[in-house]
């Protein structure tokens, strides 16, 4: 069970290096649900200490993604909070203080090895790892005298600070998903804590900031498990072990075949997005498609993510945010990776579009018409069309495919569906139908049920089965074998347009 005897404070700490992978959004979601369930705080902290990988605009993009998903932090770079600043680049001075403290206490050391010297070691020793096996003959303060070390520092010789990982020990910690986890320190290298530019690495910064921000539970992907021993040592060496957060290493989101972690390349290869929103790389100009721009509703996206690695123990699949908060528990998060199923992701979106109020999605859908430069006479007509077709939409962008014929006459017809069974009797039927529909006066009579009754009565008089006429009528109005009820279509486009389309289609149907 989670330790909630202390105030629950969780954080999402992304690096602003590019698009936000759906695995990252799921980490946000699980943080958010846990915090809300336990009346805690959800913090956004930007880990921008790796200046070589920093990408302009990525932080703004991350914030926009969280807003779109409705997962707004209680504290962060945008809205501040009692532990500001929330960008690590603005907390730089903190990290050296603690790195120097580790050196004084004998838990870290200065390393002056150049890149060339380390490359040479890698040539000599396959799988070279800076650690207890070799640090005694490398250029660091463990081998230099205090005077030599001070002289190098005074001269401004570039250096890093490394943690001194002990040999022949076994580290244990408890993970709320995986239970007891242990590591052999002989397999852990002396990680860099402070880089030559004075910026901390992730290892030092995450521990210092989690302590200073009073983080109670640390949610992160299982790919960070190998880093756990260094972090546990730092919590101990800095004297903060009693304040160490509960660990929660989340399962990976896997490729659809289950073989390995889902990547952007997999999405590109298989034709689905893996980012929350479109991401345009400012260096290459390449745009990577996102779930939002593909036409996903944020509620559907979040619901889908929640069930990648978690379930409430029932068959329920559709959850409101309040239900997710109420039912979420770490005990129901799986250890095993969760395979991403794009067909299932589409199902979630379809279900949410079907149950959405028209008013909730009309602005997003109307933007599709604007992109097509379609002018509509009034908003009421557009809303009626959306009401009729929304249950047929998997993505919001499907609106045009499902509804274009409400705004434009068909240019082409699926003649293969009609001409093989066409006959003069059908031509006569539709010519008579035009006259019958023309005779209908008053809008109260131009309604779906009446149009259907007139249609079937005329078919009976002509001794033709209505089923043989319905498909040609549909193709006349929409161009193909798709769309909502054909008499609903006729009702909406109106008498004049319905008759015009019958007349135009008859020419195409009867041409040799």
CA atoms of 63 and 395, how far apart (whole Å): 24
- Nearest CA to 202 out of 167, 230, 236, 238 is that of 230
pLDDT, residue 485, reads: 95
Q: Quick one: average pLDDT of 413-429?
A: 95
**For residue 378, pLDDT beyond 90:** no
**For residue 215, pLDDT beyond 50:** yes
Position 5 confidence tier, pLDDT thresholds 50, 70, 90: low
**For residue 334, pLDDT beyond 90:** yes
280 DSSP β-pair partners = 287
Share above pLDDT 70 across residues of the chain, in percent, rounded to a whole number: 99
- Length of the chain equals 512
CB environment 287-312: b (16+ within 10 A), e (fewer): ebbbbbbbbbbbbbbbbbbbbbbbeb
Q: Quick one: average pLDDT of 298-327?
A: 97
pLDDT in tens, 17-76: 999 999 999 999 999 999 999 999 999 999 998 888 889 999 999 999 999 999 999 999
pLDDT in tens, 233-258: 999 999 999 999 999 999 999 999 99
pLDDT, residue 1, reads: 46
Active site residues: 264
**For residue 2, pLDDT beyond 50:** no
Global pTM value: 0.91
Calculate the average pLDDT of the chain: 94
CA atoms of 210 and 11, how far apart (whole Å): 8
**Which tops the pLDDT comparison, 51 or 335?**
335
CA atoms of 236 and 29, how far apart (whole Å): 30
- Nearest CA to 486 out of 466, 460, 464 is that of 466
Q: Quick one: average pLDDT of 485-497?
A: 96
Position 498 confidence tier, pLDDT thresholds 50, 70, 90: very high
């Amino acid at each position: 069970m989670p330790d909630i005897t202390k105030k629950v404070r969780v954080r999402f700490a992304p690096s602003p290096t590019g698009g936000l992978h759906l695995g990252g959004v799921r980490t946000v979601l699980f943080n958010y649900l846990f915090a809300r369930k336990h009346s805690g705080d959800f913090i956004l902290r930007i880990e921008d200490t790796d200046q070589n990988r920093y990408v302009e605009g990525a932080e703004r993009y991350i914030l926009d993604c969280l807003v779109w998903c409705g997962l707004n932090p209680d504290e962060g770079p945008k809205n501040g909070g009692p532990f500001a600043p929330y960008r690590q680049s603005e907390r730089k001075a903190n990290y050296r203080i603690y790195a120097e403290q580790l050196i004084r206490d004998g838990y870290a050391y200065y390393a002056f090895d150049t890149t060339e010297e380390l490359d040479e070691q890698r040539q000599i020793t396959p799988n070279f790892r800076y650690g207890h096996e070799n640090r005694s003959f490398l250029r660091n303060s463990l081998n230099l005298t205090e005077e030599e070390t001070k002289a190098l520092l005074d001269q401004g010789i570039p250096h890093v600070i490394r943690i001194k990982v002990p040999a022949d020990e076994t580290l244990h910690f408890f993970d709320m998903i995986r239970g007891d986890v242990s590591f052999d320190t002989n397999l852990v290298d002396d990680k860099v804590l402070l880089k030559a530019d004075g910026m901390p690495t992730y290892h030092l910064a995450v521990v210092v900031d989690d302590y200073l921000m009073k983080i109670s539970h640390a949610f992160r992907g299982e790919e960070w498990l190998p880093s756990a021993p260094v972090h546990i040592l730092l919590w101990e060496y800095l004297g903060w072990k009693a304040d160490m957060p509960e660990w929660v290493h989340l399962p990976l989101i896997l490729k659809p075949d289950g073989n390995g972690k889902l990547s952007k390349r997999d999405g590109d290869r298989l034709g689905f997005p893996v980012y929350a929103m479109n991401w345009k790389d400012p260096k290459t100009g390449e745009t990577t498609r996102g779930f939002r721009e593909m036409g996903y509703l944020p509620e559907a996206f979040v619901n889908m993510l929640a069930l990648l690695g978690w379930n409430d123990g029932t068959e329920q699949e559709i959850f409101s945010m309040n239900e997710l908060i109420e039912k979420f528990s770490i005990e129901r998060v799986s250890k095993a990776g969760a395979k991403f199923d794009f067909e299932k992701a589409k199902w979630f979106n379809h279900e949410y579009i079907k149950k959405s109020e028209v008013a909730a999605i009309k602005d997003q859908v109307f933007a599709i018409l604007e992109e097509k430069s379609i002018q509509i006479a009034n908003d009421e007509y557009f809303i009626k069309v959306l009401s009729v077709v929304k249950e047929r939409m998997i993505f919001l962008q499907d609106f045009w495919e499902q509804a274009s014929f409400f705004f434009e006459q068909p240019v082409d017809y699926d003649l293969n569906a009609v001409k093989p069974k066409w006959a003069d009797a059908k031509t006569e039927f539709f010519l008579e139908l035009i006259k019958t529909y023309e005779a209908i006066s008053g809008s109260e009579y131009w309604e779906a049920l009446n149009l259907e009754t007139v249609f079937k009565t005329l078919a009976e008089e002509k001794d033709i089965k209505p089923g043989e006429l319905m498909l040609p009528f549909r193709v006349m109005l929409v161009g193909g074998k798709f769309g909502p009820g054909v008499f609903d279509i006729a009702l909406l486009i109106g008498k004049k347009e319905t008759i015009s389309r019958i007349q135009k289609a008859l020419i195409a149907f009867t041409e040799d």
